[in-house]
Structure 1
Amino acid sequence: MAANVALVLLSSCSPSTSAAAASLLPRRRFLPSRRRRASSRATTIMSALGDDPIREWILTEGKATQIKGIRSIGGGCINSAQRYDTDAGPFFVKTNSRIGPEMFEGEALGLKAMYDTKSIRVPLPYKVGSLPTGGSFIIMEFIEFGRSRGDQSDLGRKLAEMHKAAKSDKGYGFPVDNTIGSTPQINTWTDDWIEFYSKHRLGYQLELASRRYGDSAILEKGQRLIKNIRPLFDGAVIEPCLLHGDLWSGNISSDSNGDPVILDPACYCK
């Protein structure tokens, strides 16, 4: 409720009336101590909101008037994750102190693309932004997970529905480059799947490995595979459709009803 009080205190007078209102007040040194404390609290609250874009979004666009608590819920080896409990319900927030918002922007676009298929449950992304101290954040829907990863056959059916519901007419790729973990992933639109996979998946990963580890042997073997990959797909019918892109056991769960949930995508059409 304090945030609401602050907003009322600071916005109840328009610029045109603030001077006249000020002339009716005693000078500051004569203000009662209670009024001084209230004014100080309002200023402190608004200052805190300005310094914290996560709180600012939750208490404005997120429709909450009170943040009741914040607790860490892990987040893996790349990001930190917190649950924000509010009077408008919980929010899930991931932060990264080293990487800019581009990583979370790619994740948000992937989540929204999968969400829009209305096939399998994914957390709806709300906001991506930069942190004042460096790094970035993403705010999304909080999903209460069940005790297991749910029915895997149901997961398979819903993934198939998602693939069928989101076929691309632009070829193979995605509107933006994104990351798989913290590794960059190139998603330049390409008409031919074998070319896309050879250049932007196998080839790019081989280049990264070669630059980091200097392993010329694996680079040569990979390049040999790329040169001979096309005959392996003779007769195959390949249609570009939306993929999660990083689907492993750690990115699969279920909600409290037992329905499958997928998260942390590295989406592209393949």
Structure 2
Amino acid sequence: MRDKIQEALHTIGDRTNIQDWKAVGGGDINRSFYVKTDQQEYFIKGNENVPSHFFKAEAEGLKQIEQTDSIAVPHVYHYDEPQKKEQAVIVMDWVPLGSKDVSEELGHQLALMHQHTKDGYGFHAPTFVGELDQPNSKKDSWLVYYRDYRLKAQLEYGKQNGLITGDRESRLQMLLDQLHNWIPENPGASLLHGDLWGGNWMAGADGKPYLIDPSVLYGDRAFELAFTELFGGFSSRFYEAYQEVSPLPDEYEQQKPLYQLFYLLVHLNMFGESYGPSVDRILKAYTSN
């Protein structure tokens, strides 16, 4: 991996001496490294068992967010598009951790990011949610995109791996048929991080919040906020600050479990039946016997 990293640094024009190199935490999927050269500090992730578009999807997502000039992200300098089993890396800024509470700034700036909109819903290229490939297309209807490219896609994953069968499958199919009762056809198509839980943002030493590891799409901003409430990691001040900039609609509380359902299905398909009861609870709440 060191040779691959050295090659990537040469590609971006940094041929200076490597002063420091160490493995760091950075998720369960990739190996992550802190690298300091005479020129700069970098955060580099590497893998040798990912699809060719794996790091490209992350880089494109970070670029989309960076271009809004609303909230900070690490700048990406290089990414590989590997052939099967080849080593690949993504090279980006090293962001030193800070100790300041930036929950208010995060809420304000995320709301500003959500004000960047487009005409359609979805995204022009496939992304990833965790290790699962996330198919995408641009649709004129958020309802159609969320039903077909999010919930139905997870239904198919679950059927293939035997985790969505019987009553669970029947109720999920019933919910898909009735989804128009709760999910809007045409909310604003906001730029969304797409995988915003407590581990995918950080407070930098410069006093700024940073978003990391996106799975971007354009969609209903309520979808993003619902996931932030699922696994914690966000303070009450974050939500207050968000609402100061962009109040959520009255329908949010009714929609929230249906938006959280997608992420629970993802976790069911990635980690197994421990997430099954949470999925079933939502399905039973929105479908009749």
Instruction: Give the shorter-chain TM-score range.
Output: 0.7 to 0.9
Residue 49 of structure 2 aligns to a residue whose secondary structure is coil
Which residue number corresponds to residue 94 of structure 2? 142
What do residues 176-205 of structure 1 show as CA deviations (whole Å, max 9, x unaligned)?
A: 101011111111111100000000011101
Give how far 1:230 is off: 0.6
- Cα distance change, pair 84–101 in 1 and its aligned pair in 2 (3 A): farther
Asked if 1 retains the 8 angstrom alpha-carbon contact of 2:73 and 2:212, the reply is: yes
CA contact (8 A) 2:24 2:34 kept: yes
- Output the TM-score relative to the length of structure 1: 0.75
Name which of 194, 197, 200 aligns with 2:146: 197
Identity score, percent: 32
Could you tell me which residue of structure 1 aligns to residue 218 of structure 2? 269
Partner of 1:41: none
Query: What amino acid is the match of 1:121?
Result: A
Give the counterpart letter for 2:181 in structure 1: P
Letter in 1 for 2:171: K
**Structure 1: runs of 5 or more not aligned:** 1-47
Work out whether residues 145 and 254 of structure 1, in 8 Å CA contact, stay in contact via their aligned partners in 2.
yes
Within a 5 Å distance, the mapping from 1:71-90 to structure 2 comes to 71-90=22-41
The TM-score, its normalising length taken from structure 2, stands at: 0.70
In 2: Cα distance, 1:135 partner to 1:99 partner: 9
Give the Cα separation in 2 of the matches to 1:232 and 1:61. Answer: 48
Within the candidate set 49, 63, 75, 1:124 is matched to 75
Tell me the distance in 2 between the aligned counterparts of 1:242 and 1:69: 36
Structure 1 residues 107 and 122: alpha-carbon distance in aligned structure 2, compared to 1, 3 A threshold: same
Once the two structures are TM-superposed, the CA of residue 213 in structure 1 deviates from its matched residue by 2.0
Check conservation: 1:72, 1:81, Cα contact below 8 A: yes
Please provide the CA RMSD for this pair: 2.1
In 2, Cα distance between the equivalents of 1:80 and 1:126? Answer: 18
Q: Which secondary structure state, in structure 2, belongs to the residue aligned with residue 93 of structure 1? A: strand
**Aligned match for 1:154, one of 105, 114, 119:** 105
User: Which runs of no fewer than 5 residues in structure 2 stay unpaired?
Assistant: 220-289
Instruction: Name which of 210, 217, 223 aligns with 2:159.
Output: 210
Q: How many residues were matched structurally?
A: 217
Runs of 4+ in 1 over 4 A off after TM superposition: 130-133
For residues 67 and 101 of structure 1, what CA distance do their matches in structure 2 show?
Answer: 28
Q: Which has the larger radius of gyration?
A: 1
Amino acid at match of 2:74: P
Task: Quote the residue 1:54 is aligned against.
Answer: 5
Instruction: Report if aligned partners of 2:54, 2:128 keep a CA contact under 8 Å in 1.
Output: yes
**Native 8 Å contact 2:122 2:139 kept in 1:** yes
Distance in 2, Cα, partners of 1:200 & 1:130: 24
